[in-house]
């Protein structure tokens, strides 16, 4: 078995993370993107078989709640230990094909964050070369996603830009215009925003609040405790490298310290890019 340095560090951090969990439980929001079998490793894609193992593990040992319920519980002051939320970004079609049947099998709810330009099939996420036409779910397919009990849909901008690099007006347009697109398509949503590429500064958080969203999720790692800022909710990225052993360490927060260190560097890059615009 190949054991990476990050896994060794996680095992070292694990007892402290467990102890912190016992003392003060929080809600962990998992971040997925794609669930598919791709020919090459992609950080944003988890294979269908591993995804099924991860969901089976969650169903047996964790309390998985819808995103909107998490907000209620964060505000109510009652957080139950081992509470988890499942989210997917970008609205990939493979979520419908490979993730939804598994969520149904284990009766687990999840939220998908939709970029409205993708759902309208006007554009696609630029990450993938030669993508199929249906890389993303269209509005009718998103309705199929919503039909599963507890599944929700949130907003992920109109065109998936780096928001902090945009002039004020354009940034507002991406954030509030996204809600207009939902209304025009006759689609319901949970009123929660997801910052594209995790790019957020105080300005974007303010615009999201002013547009009427009730909360927003970031890619800041870690768990959400009572009194967490609703417009800066933390998430934990799950990748195809997270076999059940690594998945369990992540759920216990053993990777949080390492991920926070990496994230601080990333935030500095965003701040420099926003400053240079």
Stretch that binds Zn ion, among 64-72, 195-203, 204-212, 234-242 (CB under 5 A): 195-203
| Distance between CA atoms of residues 241 and 100, nearest Å | 21
User: Applying CB under 5 A, does 174 fall inside the site for Zn ion?
Assistant: no
Stretch that binds Zn ion, among 79-87, 146-154, 193-201, 207-215 (CB under 5 A): 193-201
> From the CB of 57, what's the least distance to Zn ion, in Å?
25
| Distance between CA atoms of residues 71 and 192, nearest Å | 10
Nearest to Zn ion of 17, 155 (CB atom): 155
Size of the residue set binding Zn ion (CB under 5 A) = 3
Non-local CB neighbours of 189 within 8 Å, separated by 6+ positions? 114, 152, 153, 154, 155, 179, 182
- For residue 247, CA distances in Å to 28, 135, 157 come to 12, 27, 29
Stretch that binds Zn ion, among 20-28, 84-92, 220-228, 267-275 (CB under 5 A): 84-92
> From the CB of 156, what's the least distance to Zn ion, in Å?
6
DSSP string, 59-122: HHH-EE--HHHHHHHHHHT---TTEEEEEEETTBHHIIIIIHHHHHHTT---EEEEPHHHHTTS
| Distance between CA atoms of residues 76 and 104, nearest Å | 28
Among 89, 174, 240, 242, binds Zn ion (CB under 5 A): 89
> From the CB of 90, what's the least distance to Zn ion, in Å?
4
| Distance between CA atoms of residues 121 and 159, nearest Å | 11
> From the CB of 99, what's the least distance to Zn ion, in Å?
16
> From the CB of 12, what's the least distance to Zn ion, in Å?
32
| Distance between CA atoms of residues 209 and 200, nearest Å | 13
Stretch that binds Zn ion, among 4-12, 41-49, 135-143, 196-204 (CB under 5 A): 196-204
Stretch that binds Zn ion, among 81-89, 139-147, 178-186, 223-231 (CB under 5 A): 81-89
The torsion angles phi and psi of 192, rounded to 5 degrees, stand at -115, 135
> From the CB of 109, what's the least distance to Zn ion, in Å?
20
> From the CB of 66, what's the least distance to Zn ion, in Å?
20
| Distance between CA atoms of residues 212 and 187, nearest Å | 16
Non-local CB neighbours of 185 within 8 Å, separated by 6+ positions? 116, 119, 120, 139
Nearest to Zn ion of 10, 163 (CB atom): 163
Taking CB atoms, the residue at the shortest distance from Zn ion is: 89
Among 36, 90, 94, 199, binds Zn ion (CB under 5 A): 90
Instruction: List contacts with Zn ion (CB under 5 A).
Output: 89-90, 196
């Amino acid at each position: 078995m190949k054991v990476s340095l990050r896994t060794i560090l996680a095992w070292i951090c694990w007892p402290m993370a467990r102890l912190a969990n016992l003392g003060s439980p929080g809600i962990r929001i998992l971040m997925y993107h794609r669930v598919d079998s791709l020919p090459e490793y992609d950080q944003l894609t988890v294979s269908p078989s591993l995804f099924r193992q991860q969901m089976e593990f969650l169903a047996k040992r964790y309390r998985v709640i819808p995103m909107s319920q998490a907000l209620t519980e964060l505000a109510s002051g009652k957080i139950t230990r081992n509470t988890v939320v499942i989210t997917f970004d970008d609205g990939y079609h493979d979520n419908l094909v490979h993730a939804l049947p598994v969520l149904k099998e284990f009766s687990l709810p999840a939220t998908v964050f939709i970029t409205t330009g993708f759902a309208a099939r006007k554009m696609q996420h630029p990450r993938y070369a030669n993508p199929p036409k249906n890389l993303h779910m269209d509005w009718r397919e998103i309705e199929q996603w919503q039909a599963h009990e507890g599944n929700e849909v949130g907003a992920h901008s109109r065109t998936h830009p780096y928001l902090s690099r945009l002039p004020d007006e354009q940034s507002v347009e991406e954030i509030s215009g996204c809600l207009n697109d939902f209304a025009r398509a006759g689609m319901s949503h949970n009123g929660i925003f997801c910052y594209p590429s995790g790019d957020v500064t105080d300005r974007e958080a303010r615009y999201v609040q002013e547009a009427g969203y009730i909360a927003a999720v970031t890619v800041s790692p870690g768990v959400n405790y009572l009194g967490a800022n609703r417009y800066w909710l933390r998430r934990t990225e799950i990748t195809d490298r997270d076999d059940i052993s690594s998945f369990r360490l992540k759920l216990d927060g053993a990777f949080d310290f390492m991920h926070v260190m990496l994230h601080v560097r990333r935030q500095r890059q965003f701040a420099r890019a926003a400053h240079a615009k």
